[in-house]
Amino acid sequence: MAHFQLAQALGRQAQRENLIGSAKLAGQIKSELLTAIRLDPGMPQPYAALAVWNAEISAKGALPALLLGASRAEALKNFEKTLNLDPVTMSYHVEYGRALLNMNDAKLRARGVQQLQYALTLTPRTYWERDEQRKARELLGQLR
């Protein structure tokens, strides 16, 4: 869990950095997530974070993806692993749906809509899950 939390902290730091600084941190983030997975392969959080990492960097273009070792295929694989480990955490479905909607592929976008719609069928257990449902509704509303 410590490696996952360090990756999260580095991610927040990367959001405040310039392009070069955030690219340097991206490698560290990936390394920490892979270490977390190696140490506890049954923990869904680092798979979800690695999926988002791959999806966001891949969305920036082929060159950043190539330089940082990110891919759409890895994003999809890690989202599926996350949902296999924890199918009921709403934020995983919303993040997966968002990532799929950002991919320029009609079939993947349709799967993204399904993920968001599924998130809306889950019963929110916390304020944060109600907020995730709000995000899912907003994303779906933007499609209309």
Classify the C-alpha dihedral 29-35-36-38 as positive or negative: positive
pLDDT tens-digit profile of 40-54? Answer: 999 999 999 999 999
Confidence band for 69, pLDDT divided at 50, 70 and 90: very high
Mean pLDDT of all residues in 124-142: 95
Please give the Cα distance from 60 to 142 (Å, whole number). 21
Distance CA 123, CA 116 (A): 13
Query: Distance between CA 88 and CA 76 in Å, rounded?
Result: 18
**pTM for this one?**
0.91
Query: Residue range 99-109: average pLDDT?
Result: 93
pLDDT average, residue stretch 113-123: 96
